[in-house]
Structure 1
């Protein structure tokens, strides 16, 4: 039976990446469920997938003045939806409308809210979360986060939902909408098990992915262990950091390979494809210090690869609630504070924290500085993952010089042990900590059921004048004292 509504999915673009993949999955799920829909995008779908895409001029990235207004964008979207879907009620499903990539989109959402339209506003990323350049675009927008009985805010993790609820979003209008998980590639097992571990980091090498941690692990791993990062950054903002790590790999000869897919092969005569790298990998790793959903924690399970790396409770707590242990994870990698120098770290913190806060129009208080500094120190140690890259390299050079390698500790649930011994044992473990059948909560069947419930709830609710979450309260949650992270700036 065809539902009494249709859906218009709205995003800036359909370039390769996480949000596009989510939209592709949603479109296929809606098609299988018999829900009429269209994808409105500022650019064509570069994947070539045969999905119902309609390009709307003005939806793409646009931070400069001179583009269409919010009202003009609403008119264009309404016309596109009507031409594709025909008459009848529409649920608007926006992705990242508040990210600061197009002010007109944020204004359009507020106009639709005032008109009483049914909407799902899905948040993958936040301008308030280490994206100060984006925030400038929407800094004076007081209607950024509308809510009403006909609007639901959809979040990838409980932390983000908690931030918005604490800022004033009624709890019943904020829901979790985790991504559906499907295997990223078909992986045929190798005929002969490799002699040494190949640890694959299937990400783009941007700053928050904490590339330096791979070099630290490589310096302390058993001989023959190799680490590989699949892709380089496609944003010019992160290319300088990536180039510095490439130079460091050349300088130190540590077994860390960067941007390998399409450029290098994982073994002699092997293909250079992602599938080939995944097939040859003995383990996957995550070292990221910030994630929205945490796809990298779950995808290895679908292809039978064991995962090791850095735990992110903001996202993995949701997996635990679903009964999933995604991998062998640590909470911190600790190095003696004396290796860096407390005064050096504090001076770096003063500069970086002040610059970050000023970029958001905030002044740095003594309380903010003191609490941020205190949060970095752990019983005379520092978490390697929250050091600037040059200080990370300083630590690794010390280890390579043969000094006190066993003073590098891994912390797991408040217990510490030498990292080198933990790595030796962990890299011998070749079985994942979960099975594909454990992933039912993140199946496409579960995902389409969540979508249908969301759409049904907003389309059946009676229109009411929207209210707005105070934007400054949202910002204060992301900038709360003690939350600063060097690699998230």
Structure 2
């Protein structure tokens, strides 16, 4: 059996790391060829993956924004999809790879970054190729620009038209979801259960050894100019908006007085950098023990930051899988994190003990301020979808719009400007800060007490057993075998036609995802000034 991994690019990080882990998990388990196919950028493919695979460039797979930089205008998405299918078939044929021996494993085909991918998949299915479509992120999950592009590509008049286009259905097309919650969304959208697989990401340090903690801490201490008695916790992420950095600043105020908290990487896009840099500026006064850019320190590696840390922290409000919840345990570090139920349920079902995950960070509010906040949350939610036609906007509001008026609210539900207000009030008003501390005593205890070695050892064992490369390889092979057993169905698909309108059984994807994940304004924030007053 041959396995072909396809994505728009293989730049460092993100999906590329997932694919590299999957290649490693399949190494020695299949007797065919592994091929990585993408647009022009394959700079993130590591040496071990290069040795285990062949690489093919199909320029038409790249993000639409990259293709628009060429001199040629973009063709209709369906025409481009047919071109991708033809070129891909020709290139694989050069290696002697035929459809009946092969599974095409796509990553994030429906994100809306290249709207021709779904059309290519439909054509490839009609040509007899068996395919596994692995979804990491949804365009419908507060990515309105992407979703608008899919609406246009599909020529859609109702949400079901978009679903039919972006989630093609045919006997030889199966779906791989990172969580059981996302699999439930796809089932509600009409994907048959026998074509749905839960394929979580694998975690592995690939033989990496943590540096000596004291030496690692010495490098960080010198680079950041920290006191000799300081301790360290780290948020090992690129600080994009959904990572909820305002809450990271608040938690840095709740850690023990000698502890400093580091966030590792600055974002790469303009809109995300603007948000990140605003929080970095706010931290100078309101959260001086929050240190930014610690992944950019000279001679300080990711493993140095991890080794030096007492624990890993996460304030993220949206994750497709939650890799940062798993990896630290393999390095012997505990995790304190905001609980995202749609992700964490699978981890706890697998046996992980996540007793230091928290549901909310409570701040006190008066009735007037609470009313203003509820209005602002609703405005932010509806503004997020203003750029798409009315027929495609959600009609059911998430529960988070009914923010509490009982004198308290979860900090993550506040708009970014209101979060800044709270942080400034905590800095200026010791009584207010003490009130915040009183309401979050359990969280403060989680940020203060060392993790039990028995908990770290248990979670290390579970993470390695359930999410290591061996288990990942087993899951992939099981999915591939199930896809390949549908060979007889494929022949029927050629003559009966592939595709058709998706059976949308449970409503549009926007509403399904909103109900599952809720809404947090930091994801779609617009930065503007606001007077620093109002929290009670």
TM-score over 0.5 (shorter chain): yes
Alignment RMSD? 2.7
The SS at the match of 2:61 is coil
* 1:96 is aligned to 2:98: no
| Alpha-carbon offset, residue 19 of structure 1 | 0.6
Tell me the residue number matched to 1:83: 94
Number of residues of Structure 1 aligned to a counterpart in Structure 2:
471
- CA distance in structure 2 between the partners assigned to 1:86 and 1:213 by the alignment: 50
| Alpha-carbon offset, residue 58 of structure 1 | 0.7
* 1:303 is aligned to 2:331: yes
| Alpha-carbon offset, residue 347 of structure 1 | 3.2
- CA distance in structure 2 between the partners assigned to 1:36 and 1:199 by the alignment: 42
* 1:186 is aligned to 2:209: yes
Moved more, 456-465 or 312-321: 456-465
Tell me the residue number matched to 2:232: 198
* 1:284 is aligned to 2:312: yes
| Alpha-carbon offset, residue 274 of structure 1 | 1.6
1:115 to 119, 127, 130: 127
Moved more, 344-353 or 154-163: 344-353
Tell me the residue number matched to 2:57: 55
The SS at the match of 1:229 is strand
Tell me the residue number matched to 1:469: 502
Note the residue ranges of structure 1 that are not aligned, 5 or more in a row: 265-270, 410-416
* 1:483 is aligned to 2:518: yes
Relative distance call for 1:365 and 1:12 in structure 2 (3 A) is closer
Residue deviations 1:127-153, cap 9 Å, x none? 000111111111142422122332211
Relative distance call for 1:450 and 1:287 in structure 2 (3 A) is same
Tell me the residue number matched to 1:177: 199
The SS at the match of 1:186 is coil
> Which of the two has greater strand per residue?
1
2:404 to 371, 377, 383: 377
Tell me the residue number matched to 1:249: 283
Q: Pairwise mapping of residues 72-471 of structure 1 onto structure 2 (< 5 A)?
A: 72-87=83-98, 89=100, 90-140=102-152, 141=154, 142=161, 143-183=165-205, 185-191=208-214, 195-252=229-286, 254-263=288-297, 271-326=299-354, 328-338=356-366, 341-362=369-390, 368=396, 371-374=399-402, 376-377=403-404, 379-401=406-428, 402-408=430-436, 418-419=439-440, 422-424=443-445, 426-431=447-452, 433-435=455-457, 436-439=460-463, 440-461=465-486, 462-463=489-490, 464=493, 465-469=498-502
Note the residue ranges of structure 2 that are not aligned, 5 or more in a row: 155-160, 218-227, 525-536
| Alpha-carbon offset, residue 455 of structure 1 | 1.1
Tell me the residue number matched to 2:527: none
Relative distance call for 1:379 and 1:53 in structure 2 (3 A) is farther
The SS at the match of 1:32 is coil
Tell me the residue number matched to 1:414: none
Residue deviations 1:29-86, cap 9 Å, x none? 2232134221101024213422421111111101555157111111111112222343
Contact 2:249 2:287 in 1 (8 A): no
* 1:40 is aligned to 2:37: yes
| Alpha-carbon offset, residue 434 of structure 1 | 3.8
> Which of the two has greater helix per residue?
2
The SS at the match of 1:228 is strand
- CA distance in structure 1 between the partners assigned to 2:445 and 2:423 by the alignment: 18
Moved more, 160-169 or 28-37: 28-37
Tell me the residue number matched to 2:9: 13
Contact 2:118 2:168 in 1 (8 A): no
Residue deviations 1:357-401, cap 9 Å, x none? 333423799984695521x32743211112121111111111112
Contact 1:38 1:84 in 2 (8 A): no
Tell me the residue number matched to 1:413: none
Contact 2:398 2:515 in 1 (8 A): no
* TM-score, structure 1 as length reference: 0.89
